[in-house]
Structure 1
Amino acid sequence: MQPCGSWASPSRCGRDARAPAESVGPLHQTTLHFRALVTRSSLLIPLLAALLLAGCNPPESPKGGKKDGKAAAALPSRAVQAAPAESRPMERAVSVIGALAAIDQATLSVKVTGRLQSLSVDLGTRVRKGELVAQIESVDYELKLRSAEALLAQARARLGLPLVGSDDTVKAEETSTVRQARASLLESQKQRDRIKALAQRGISPQSELEVAEANYEIAFNRHLEALEDIRQRQGVLQQRRVDVEIARQQLADTKIIAPFDGIVQERRASPGEFLNTAAPIVTLVKVDPLRLRVEVPERNATGVRPGLKVRLTVEGDTNHYTGTIARLSPAITELNRMLIVEADIANQAGALRPGTFARADIVLAAAEPATAVPKAALVTFAGMEKIFLVKDGNAAEKNIAVGRRADGFIEVLGGVKPGDLVVLNPGALQNGQPVTVNTSRPPPAKKAPVPAAPKAGKKTS
């Protein structure tokens, strides 16, 4: 192919120049476009990098020039009130959660079968110890008692005792049966002795002596039998006495009595029902005192002991209640590493109820030294607690963990020493902001002004 020059014809030059483009396929055209884009990008990347470096490192302003914008503006100094952190005696307590329970709870049931004649209590009824709660029909048990008493009187009569009485002492030798048998025995003995003497003299035959000996043996055995019969009657008398006591107890059991002072929690029967033995009637709970049952973590269990004071609050009640630890578990629970503790809480007014969820503080020490700051120094934001310390004339923000609170002071659990100045009511104070300290405490609440005494030489109108 000849080069396209001025001497060549235009038609030929145009045709020859267009020939390669017309002969190139679509895939080759795409490759050419991609190479063009890569070439342009390689030229733009160094230019963008140079612009970014220029923006990050602006040229320094000449000395004595003004700094630009708010970023370089100095924070204004602020006058603040400050107070030193103190070492104060504070109460040490363990906060726990638990539930209140009745000190005693019993389901009153019947001991004898029968129809419920009356029920004198209902839900919420207060009862006293020994008060009648319910009554079972007692006619059948009254008849049983009368029958047992009649049999007892019969047994006493067989022993020669009065029909009614509480003394069942009997001397067997003094009963009529034994006296009669003894008399027969003595007569037989005398008869035997006489015949024996006559037989020795040859007057009485031997046969009569043998008969006398036999009669004596019979009388002797009858005497023993009489003594055994009296002992048997004494045993029957004791049995009749026990039967009377059983019948009397069954009659008494027809009355269901409150075993302690309490309140009816549940009524489980109605008058007219026939109740079998052990059928429940009411559930009774004792609410004064109440039993507070809590779990103390193992790390705090060392100082817990009976007799410590307990303070508690319940949901929906602003009052604070107090009690005393009465019982401790002898071992730590293996599953949750907790010590089970029970305290008795006085509830004379009845404001607390069994089953109520409670939050309690077990007071381990009434006064223990602690580093504390005034309550006004604490700032809480987004769940974080912090204070501002005064260091080298500037405010230094300090995140802290707080502990006990008492008398307007809050315990700081580290990072602050007694004597460190803390800013009171910091408000919008910023970290590093210069401060002018006024160590005086906040002024107390204003009271009504008291008229000043008149100066000497002046009169008040």
Structure 2
Amino acid sequence: MRIKILSIIFTGVIIVSGLGVCNAAEEGEKGHEVHDDHKDEGHKGHDDHKDEDKGHDEHGEEEVVRLTNEELKEFGIETAIVGPGQLKRRITLPGEIVVNMDKMAHIVPRVPGVVREVRKRLGDRVRAGEVLAILESRELSDAKAEYLAAHERLALAKANFEREGRLRKKKISSEQDYLNAKQALAEVQIDIRSAEQKLHALGFSEKYLKQLPAHSDTTYTRYEIKAPFNGTVIKKHITLGEMVKDDTTIFIIANLSTVWVNLSVYQKDLPFVHEGAKVSVIIGHGAPDVEGVISYLGPIVGEKTRTALARVVLPNKKGTLRPGLFISGKVTVEEIEVPVLIPKTALQTFEGKTVVFTKDEDGFEPAPVMIGRSDDMNVEIVSGLIPGQKYASKGAFTLKAQLSKGGFASGHNH
């Protein structure tokens, strides 16, 4: 009986174990199917990524930056046409802007006197003939009185001479009386010419002298100091009520429509500097450079400075070239013609190559170039550009930056 019970139990264990193995096999097959599905999906996903990467590769191969006219202006990008130019070898000389001494006047009163009016101040602009100040001068009064007295004596001498002439013809007057009258007239004429010369020396015109006898009631002491030409008052040494002498500089007036640039030429540079040489005057502080030529080269070298003077005359209509400013002048000592010349601002390094961004109807594209000789501003292009091409002469760095980060490329217009 016990043996029969054990036999039944053993048979049940075998049956249960068999069912478990069957279930495990079914779940295993199902698991393999799920894994295969994931495997297929994984391969499919990888294929999709490959396609996407392929799209990115195709996207990056174009390397074109497209910008609207408004964006070009906003980013400060300027274009130019490839062409020939000149490389310049230049030397830099120190210098200073000074007043054009040929257009400067020291105003000195021609008579001493007391200042009654001061009409112009430091920095005022004046016109030729404009009154700067008024003096009251006793010496001027004496000179005018002398002239008027001589003028009256001349009228009397003329009348006496004419009367003696008539009497002589009638044999009423002697020959001696006639000669005395003639001599008196000649002496008065000499006196009046002397008085006229004095007044001319004081700045009075012939027209003024002719009108003076008719205006004898005018104050003889009034002396007007006038501007000799258009200019600016750059110095003033006169105050109301002071006594000024006839050798005192009371105003300095300068016409600043042109200025001088004085350059110091070192001994080592003298062989390369000559009159007519081109000069770029570098003012700095944001001011634009000014072009000129050397108009004068000093014949001697200063004992203390050991430099010679070179001078450039520059127009100064806007008044921005202020005397006293220190500047530097770049003197061109040699010019070399090259077939293709561009500014250095057009060069950039992209992907390890020196490039220039050329422009066509599609946009800006980096073009590898080979550079040759250069100066401080421009560079010769040996290969990579041809005359007539349009390129970015300014703002190339911005184009490089946009291309590096993918902005504004392949139709990504903003």
TM-score by length of 2: 0.53
Contact 1:268 1:280 in 2 (8 A): yes
Specify the SS of the correspondent of 1:405. coil
Equivalent residue, structure 2, for 1:398: none
Q: Which one of 320, 329, 332 corresponds to residue 363 of structure 1? A: 332
C-alpha distance in structure 1 between counterparts of 2:274 and 2:128, whole Å: 32
Deviation of the 1:111 alpha carbon: 1.3
Contact 2:122 2:236 in 1 (8 A): yes
Q: How many residues are paired up? A: 269
1:233 matched to 2:185: yes
Equivalent residue, structure 1, for 2:254: 285
1:243 counterpart letter in structure 2? A
Specify the SS of the correspondent of 2:190. helix
2:246 counterpart letter in structure 1? T
Contact 1:90 1:368 in 2 (8 A): yes
Equivalent residue, structure 1, for 2:164: 177
* Alignment RMSD (CA, Å): 4.2
C-alpha distance in structure 2 between counterparts of 1:264 and 1:106, whole Å: 10
Within-5 A mapping of 1:46-125: 89-104=86-101, 105-125=104-124
Contact 1:116 1:135 in 2 (8 A): yes
C-alpha distance in structure 2 between counterparts of 1:262 and 1:368, whole Å: 43
Specify the SS of the correspondent of 1:239. helix
1:274 matched to 2:243: yes
Equivalent residue, structure 2, for 1:82: none
C-alpha distance in structure 2 between counterparts of 1:139 and 1:305, whole Å: 54
Contact 1:159 1:234 in 2 (8 A): no
Contact 1:269 1:282 in 2 (8 A): yes
Contact 1:107 1:282 in 2 (8 A): yes
1:244-275: CA deviations, max 9, x gaps? 45347648492222223332222211111122
C-alpha distance in structure 2 between counterparts of 1:126 and 1:292, whole Å: 22
Q: Which one of 376, 386, 410 corresponds to residue 405 of structure 1? A: 376
Specify the SS of the correspondent of 1:101. strand
Question: CA, structure 1 residues 151+226, in 2 after alignment: closer, same or farther (shift >3 Å)?
Answer: same
C-alpha distance in structure 2 between counterparts of 1:231 and 1:442, whole Å: 95
Deviation of the 1:359 alpha carbon: 0.6
Question: CA, structure 1 residues 251+259, in 2 after alignment: closer, same or farther (shift >3 Å)?
Answer: closer
Consecutive unaligned residues of structure 2, counting only runs of 5 or more, are: 1-83, 205-221, 350-372, 384-395
Consecutive unaligned residues of structure 1, counting only runs of 5 or more, are: 1-86, 162-171, 188-218, 379-401, 412-417, 420-440, 453-461
Specify the SS of the correspondent of 2:251. strand
1:134 matched to 2:133: yes
1:47-79: CA deviations, max 9, x gaps? xxxxxxxxxxxxxxxxxxxxxxxxxxxxxxxxx
Deviation of the 1:303 alpha carbon: 4.2
Compare the two structures and name the one with the higher helix fraction: 2
Equivalent residue, structure 2, for 1:153: 152
Identity %: 18
1:279-320: CA deviations, max 9, x gaps? 232222332211111122344333433333321123534321
Larger Rg: 1
Q: Which one of 256, 261, 265 corresponds to residue 234 of structure 2? A: 265
Question: CA, structure 1 residues 251+88, in 2 after alignment: closer, same or farther (shift >3 Å)?
Answer: closer
Question: CA, structure 1 residues 129+326, in 2 after alignment: closer, same or farther (shift >3 Å)?
Answer: farther
